[in-house]
Amino acid sequence: MMSKLTNFLLVTLILALNYDESNSQGVQELIQEVKETILRLERSGKIKRDYEPYTEPVLLDEEGYDFVIVGAGSSGSALVHRLSEVSNWTILLLEAGGEPEIYTDIPFWSRLAEYTQLNWGYVSEKEDNIALGLKDQRIPLTRGKGIGGSSLINSLIYTRGTKEDYNRWESLGNPGWSYEDVLPYFKKLENCTIPIRDDLYRGHDGPISVQDAYQTKSGDVFIEAAENSGYKYVDYNGRTNKGVSYMQHNTKNGLRCSGESCYIRPIKHRKNLTIRKNSQVTKILIRNNTAYGVEFFKNGRIYTAFANKEVILSAGAINSPQILLLSGIGPKHQLLKFGIKPIHNLPVGQKMHDHIAYSVLGYTFNDSITFNFSETLKDESFINLYNKGEGPLRSINTVQNILFTRSSFEPNLQRVTDVEIIGLSGHIVSSSNNTGEIEVTNAIYENTFKQYSNQFVGSCAIALLHPKSYGRVELRSADPFVHPKIYTGFLTDPEGRDAKALIEGIREANRIMLSPAFEKYGIKPMDTPIYGCQQHEYDSDEYWECAIRHVAHSFFHYTTTCKMGPESDPEAVVDSKLKVHGMRRLRIVDTSIIPITLSAHTNLPAFMVGEKASDLIKEEYLLD
C-alpha cells in the first residue's frame, strides 16, 4: 500500500483515465486508497452513503417471467423502472456485470472503474489511416459493464440533441420519434436545477437530477472568451443548442446520478422485479420466429429464463447486435461462417455511427486557474461532497464547458450543429506517466507531450457530431465470451469531408482559446507538432489532418447497429415500435436502434429510449 497518494504526478493518473499496463499497479493502489478513505469516513460517521448491496432470490435451472430484459444500462434502467410500476407483471433484469464500486457515485473518482471489471474493455480493429499514433493502432472503446451500464463510468455529459435531429429521425419512416414526440420523455425523466434554463423545455420531477458542472477559473474564462467570440450563453437542452454553456451533468447533490443510482436503486425491492447480476446472456431462445426466452451464464453454468410476453434487448450498441448474431438473427453469410443456424436475415451490426474526437489541443498558463488535483484525496473534499454536494470531487474528467457550432461542411442539415467543443481544466496526456485516455505511443508522448507534464495546462476536445463515415460490428467467434470485431470506419468518407469539418472545429477552438480573455493568464498553445507529423507546416490543413489521423479517437457514442426503420429500409433491424422485423415478442431498447447521428452524447437519449419504450409496451399490453 502506498503511504500517501497526494503526490500531484500520481494523482494525475486520473486525469482522463484509460488502461495502461505499465501503470496498472499504481492505479489499483489508487483505487484501494480511495476505497479505504470512503470506508474510514463512513465508519467515523463523517459521511453517510445511500447504498446497500443487491440481493437475489434462489436461482432455479429454469424460471419464467412476463418480461426478460437483457442489460441494466441507461435504457434498461429506465425501462425496468417504468415496467415494474405495473405490479402484476413479473420482470427479470439480467446484467452481465456486477454492482457499482464503492466510489462510482463520486464523479471524480468514478472513472477509476474503467480499470475494473465494470468496463468491457473493447478496442477497435486495426484500420488503415486512423489511430496511427495510438498503441497497437487501435482505439479504446469504453463500455460500462455493471448495473447502470456506461452511466456508471461515463463523463456525465447531459445533452439531448436538437429538434432537427429528432424530426430527421421520424422523417426516415419512424412515426412517433419526432421532437414533439420525444420532448415529453426528456422532460419526464429529469429534475433540472441549473440556474440558467429554458423552463418550457425542462423537467423538474423526474428521477435524473441535472446540475451544472464544477467550475475552476478557467471554466469561467472560457465562457467569457466564447461570448467575446460571438457565441451566446444558452441552455443547450432548451430551445437551441447553438452557443456556449457550463456543462450540465446528471448529478444529484454532487453525486453521480446513474441509471443504477437514480432509476434502479430506489425500486430494486419491488416484489415483481428480480435482478440478477453477473449473468451474461449467451443466446435468445427462438421458435417459429418467436422469442420465448434466453440462456444466460452465471456461476459457471448455463441457466434458462422464459418470457411469457417479451424478450427485450437493452445490452447496448455493441452487445445487442452480438447477441442477435449469436442467436441466428443477422447477415446470413456471417452466421454460416461461424456455424450458426440462420433464423432471420437482417443487417445487424452492418452500420455503426460514432463521434470522432480530437482531444489533445492543449494550452499552458502562467497561473493556476486550472484544476487542483492535490485536493482530490483530502478528507475534507470527501466530506464536502457527501454532506454539501460541493467541491472538486464533483468534477469528472475536468470537463467544465460545452460549445455547439456549425461548420461550413454541413449545408444539408441547415440549422443542425455538427461541431462540439468541450473545455477541460486539464489535459489528457499531461501526467508524468503516459496514461492518457487515447493511449498514444511512447514516441508521441516523449517527443510531443512530456515537456508539458508539470505545467498549468488546459485543453479542448473537439468532436464531429454528424460524420459521413461509419463503422460496423461483426462476430469474431461463435463463442459468446469472445469480443466481437469493431471497426470505427473513421475518416473513410471518400470526399474527405469529415477531416475538413474536424479541422475547422480545431481552428475554431483555437480562435476562442487564444482570444483576449485568456491573455492575462499567459496562455500559450501547446504547439509542439504531433510526432510523425512534423514534416508538415504547423497549422496547415495537411498538418491537422495528419494529427487527426494519428491521435483522434472515439467519444464512445455508438448507435445504429440495430437501426430503426420501415421494412422497406434495407438497413433497418427494428420498426418504430422497437420490434425486430420478422420476429415476434422480441424488442430492442437501447442506442443501437437510433437511425441517425445526433448532435448529442448518447446517455440522455438512451434514457429517453427506455422511457418511451415502456409506454409503447404498456399501451400494447394494458389496452388488450
Q: What is the DSSP string of 109-169?
A: HHGGGGGTTTB--EEPPP-TTSSTTBGGG--EE--B-BTTGGGGTS--B-----HHHHHHH
Q: Is the pLDDT of residue 82 over 80?
A: yes
Q: Is the pLDDT of residue 11 over 70?
A: no
Average pLDDT over residues 152-178: 97
Which pLDDT value is given to residue 428? 67
Report residue 624 as a C-alpha cell.
Answer: 388488450
Average pLDDT over residues 427-447: 69
Burial of 130 (0-12, 13-18, 19+ CB in 10 A): buried
Which pLDDT value is given to residue 351? 98
Sequence-distant (≥ 6) Cβ neighbours of residue 37 within 8 angstroms: 377, 379, 382
Q: Specify which residues 67 forms β-bridges with.
A: 91, 310
Higher pLDDT, residue 340 or 3: 340
Q: Are 341 and 561 in contact (CB under 8 A)?
A: no
3-state secondary structure of 462: strand
Q: Are 327 and 283 in contact (CB under 8 A)?
A: yes
Could you give the CA distance from residue 550 to residue 555 in angstroms, rounded to a whole number?
A: 16
Question: Could you list the active site residues?
Answer: 557
Higher pLDDT, residue 449 or 509: 509
3-state secondary structure of 283: strand
* Mean predicted lDDT score pLDDT of the chain: 93
Cα 538 vs. chain centroid, distance in angstroms?
Answer: 32
Could you give the CA distance from residue 496 to residue 502 in angstroms, rounded to a whole number?
A: 10
Write the single-letter amino acid at 134. Answer: L
Could you give the CA distance from residue 325 to residue 473 in angstroms, rounded to a whole number?
A: 10
Cα 216 vs. chain centroid, distance in angstroms?
Answer: 24
Measured CA distances, 254 to 107, 209, 219, 236, 392 (Å): 8, 10, 18, 21, 10
Could you give the CA distance from residue 504 to residue 509 in angstroms, rounded to a whole number?
A: 9
Q: Are 249 and 210 in contact (CB under 8 A)?
A: yes
Average pLDDT over residues 197-215: 97
Which pLDDT value is given to residue 369? 86
Element (H, E) at 505: helix 497-513
Could you give the CA distance from residue 315 to residue 96 in angstroms, rounded to a whole number?
A: 9
Q: Is the pLDDT of residue 155 over 70?
A: yes
User: Whole-angstrom distance between the N-terminal and C-terminal Cα of the chain?
Assistant: 61
Average pLDDT over residues 385-413: 90
User: Of all residues in the chain, what percent carry a pLDDT higher than 90?
Assistant: 86
Which pLDDT value is given to residue 542? 98
- For the stretch 236-266, pLDDT in tens is 999 999 999 999 999 999 999 999 999 999 9
- Nearest C-alpha neighbor of 404 from the set 445, 455, 463, 364: 463
- Sign for the CA dihedral angle at 534, 540, 543, 544 comes to positive
Could you tell me how many residues make up the chain?
624
Q: Is the pLDDT of residue 431 over 50?
A: no
Least confident among 287-301, 391-405, 422-436, 569-583: 422-436
Report residue 377 as a C-alpha cell.
Answer: 484525496
Show the DSSP H helices in 203-294 as ranges. Answer: 217-228, 259
Write the single-letter amino acid at 110. Answer: S
Which pLDDT value is given to residue 429? 59
Burial of 61 (0-12, 13-18, 19+ CB in 10 A): exposed
DSSP state of 71: -
Write the single-letter amino acid at 614. Answer: S
Element (H, E) at 524: strand 524-525
Which pLDDT value is given to residue 397? 83
Could you give the CA distance from residue 475 to residue 138 in angstroms, rounded to a whole number?
A: 18
